[in-house]
């Protein structure tokens, strides 16, 4: 017969060598951090001698004049069927050239090559029947300045 005094056979002692405390995982940001020094953009506000810090502005200060001759306001209708209208503004009298070119910049049709007075005006041109349906460019040249507009011909 067995007699146990003071200890229990069923009790187990915890082995402290096998228990480990895991550290909390480090939070990693998915957004890349860029490290470096970048100078902030400061626009140039010095226009024609104008100094914003001064309180009095001289009357002889002039802003630079733009040499823009041609302004194309509207090309309609687009897609084009029979006629095309071009609303434009010319700053002075100049030679106006209007051409239709293909996607390879080959001239297909010359609609106008004429001396035109300055001012705002609308020109109407008839599209020739020999022009196949497709995508073309309308090249408008006035005084050496060129504007190109994509048009679709039906």
CATH number of the CATH domain containing 74: 2.60.40.1930
pLDDT in tens, 123-136: 999 998 888 999 99
Q: Is pLDDT above 90 for 120?
A: yes
Closest CA to 137 of 146, 148, 145: 148
Q: Where are the alpha helices (DSSP H) in the chain?
A: none
**Residue 89 has what pLDDT?**
93
Phi, psi of 63 (to 5 degrees): -80, 150
d(CA 75, CA 106): 21
In a domain, 83, yes or no: yes
d(CA 127, CA 95): 21
Q: How many structural domains does the chain have?
A: 1
**Residue 19 has what pLDDT?**
63
Domain range for residue 100?
Answer: 70-153
Closest CA to 137 of 118, 116, 152: 152
**Residue 25 has what pLDDT?**
72
The per-residue pLDDT of the chain, averaged, comes to 78
In this prediction, residues 61-83 reach a mean pLDDT of 79
In a domain, 50, yes or no: no
In a domain, 117, yes or no: yes
In a domain, 24, yes or no: no
In a domain, 90, yes or no: yes
**pTM score, two decimals?**
0.56
């Amino acid at each position: 017969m067995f007699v146990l005094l003071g200890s229990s056979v069923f009790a187990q002692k915890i082995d402290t060598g096998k228990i480990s405390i895991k550290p909390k995982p480090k939070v990693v940001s998915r957004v890349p951090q860029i490290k470096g020094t970048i100078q902030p953009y400061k626009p140039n506000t010095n226009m024609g001698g104008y100094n914003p810090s001064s309180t009095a502005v001289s009357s002889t200060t002039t802003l630079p004049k733009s040499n823009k001759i041609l302004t194309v306001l509207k090309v309609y209708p687009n897609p084009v069927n029979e006629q095309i209208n071009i609303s434009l503004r010319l700053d002075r009298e100049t030679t106006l050239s209007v051409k239709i070119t293909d996607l390879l910049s080959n001239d297909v049709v010359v609609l106008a090559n004429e001396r035109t007075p300055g001012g705002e005006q609308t020109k109407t041109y008839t599209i020739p029947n020999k022009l196949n349906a497709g995508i073309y460019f309308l090249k408008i040249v006035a005084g050496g300045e060129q504007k190109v507009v994509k048009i679709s011909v039906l």
